[in-house]
């Protein structure tokens, strides 16, 4: 069981990693595959309020922003959020992306991170998350919280790597303290979690393939697959 100390350590690790994120070929490949799957699936709608949970430096948030109404990126690492805010500022005043430093751990987390002087929405048409679920210990708890922030009829799209014979080599040793699901997820596992959280029309499929050096046996390269799990919050 990883405790309070380890969560702080994990945040510090992500703070330090933020400057490398935008040139990381694996993250870029995953964002590319994720934004293509969202677009091809008709999930990006004009006017939609979107939440990117565990947004990092906002690679996915910024990639989908032009196709939707607004995007709120939330991340527990202040370093990541600062990077995203700099990119938003560079895009100018018309940019529809905002960033909040928030560790989503309770139904009130997002509310507590909100800015009363300039509030962001707390209910969303679409919630996306890329390569973040494997960093969260209790997936059913997390899903319950995220579903609580979906409007009725809203969609949840989670991207993470598929469990395989080599997938536990995804992370290098120095990142393992940030990871609760080192082997990633099986399709049936994510579907069962989504259904358990009350989502309907649940599906899960591979939307991208990529290679990266093994975390435990570098420089050997290993193949990985990116999953998209999708579900809809029932309207009643
Ligand atoms: C591997 S990074 C992925 C970042 C981004 N989604 C991407 O694909 O580039 C995982 C991110 O999740 C964040 N994170 C992990 N647990 C979180 C939580 N409970 N609430 C908010 N952010 C979290 C970390 O700080 C980190 O930035």
Whole-number pLDDT of residue 1: 44
Please give the distance, rounded to the nearest whole angstrom, from the Cα atom of residue 236 to the centre of ligand 1: 31
Which of 64, 135, 146 has the most ligand 1 atoms within 8 A of CB, as the residue to mutate? 135
Spatial distance between the Cα atoms of 85 and 88, rounded to a whole number of angstroms: 5
- What is the percent of the chain where pLDDT is above 70? 98
User: Could you report the per-residue pLDDT of 18-39, keeping only the tens digit for each?
Assistant: 989 999 999 999 999 999 999 9
Residues with CB under 6 A from ligand 1: 14, 21, 27, 30-31, 54-56, 59-60, 74-77, 80, 103-105, 130-132, 135-136
CB atoms closer than 10 angstroms to residue 119? 9
| Three-state DSSP class for residue 174 | helix
Is pLDDT above 90 for 217? no
Q: Which ligand 1 atom sits closest to the C-alpha of 80? A: 27
Question: Above 90 in pLDDT, residue 70?
Answer: yes
Q: Is the pLDDT of residue 51 over 60?
A: yes
Beta-sheet strand order (sheet of 124-130): 97-101, 70-75, 49-53, 124-130, 150-161, 221-232, 200-213
84 has pLDDT over 70: yes
DSSP string, 201-220: EEEEEEEEEEEEE-SSSTTS
Asked if residues 175 and 1 have their Cβ atoms less than 8 Å apart, the reply is no
Å from CA of 214 to ligand 1 middle:
21
- State residue 4's pLDDT score: 61
Q: Which domains does the chain have, with CATH numbers?
A: 4-232 (3.40.50.150)
pTM greater than 0.85 (yes/no)? yes
- SS3 state at 55: coil
pLDDT at residue number 216 = 87
């Amino acid at each position: 069981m990883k405790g309070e100390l380890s969560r702080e350590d994990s945040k510090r690790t992500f703070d330090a990693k933020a400057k490398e994120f935008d040139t990381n070929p694996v993250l870029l490949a995953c964002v590319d595959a994720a934004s293509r799957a969202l677009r091809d699936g008709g999930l990006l709608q004009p006017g939609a309020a979107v939440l990117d949970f565990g947004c990092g430096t906002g690679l996915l948030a910024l990639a989908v922003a032009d196709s939707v109404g607004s995007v709120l990126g939330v991340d527990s690492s202040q370093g990541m959020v600062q990077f995203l805010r700099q990119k938003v500022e560079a895009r100018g005043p018309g940019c529809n992306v905002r960033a909040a430093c928030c560790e989503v751990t309770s139904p009130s987390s997002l509310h507590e991170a909100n800015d009363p002087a300039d509030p962001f929405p707390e209910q969303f048409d679409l919630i996306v998350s890329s390569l973040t679920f494997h960093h969260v210990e209790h997936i059913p708890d997390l899903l319950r919280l995220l579903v609580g922030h979906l409007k009725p009829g809203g969609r949840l799209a989670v991207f993470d790597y598929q469990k395989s014979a080599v997938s536990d080599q995804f992370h290098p040793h120095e990142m393992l303290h940030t990871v609760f699901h080192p082997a990633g997820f099986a399709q049936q596992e994510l579907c069962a979690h989504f259904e358990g959280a009350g989502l309907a029309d649940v599906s899960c499929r591979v939307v991208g393939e990529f290679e990266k050096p093994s975390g435990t046996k570098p420089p050997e390269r290993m193949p990985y697959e990116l999953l998209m799990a999708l579900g809809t919050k029932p309207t009643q």
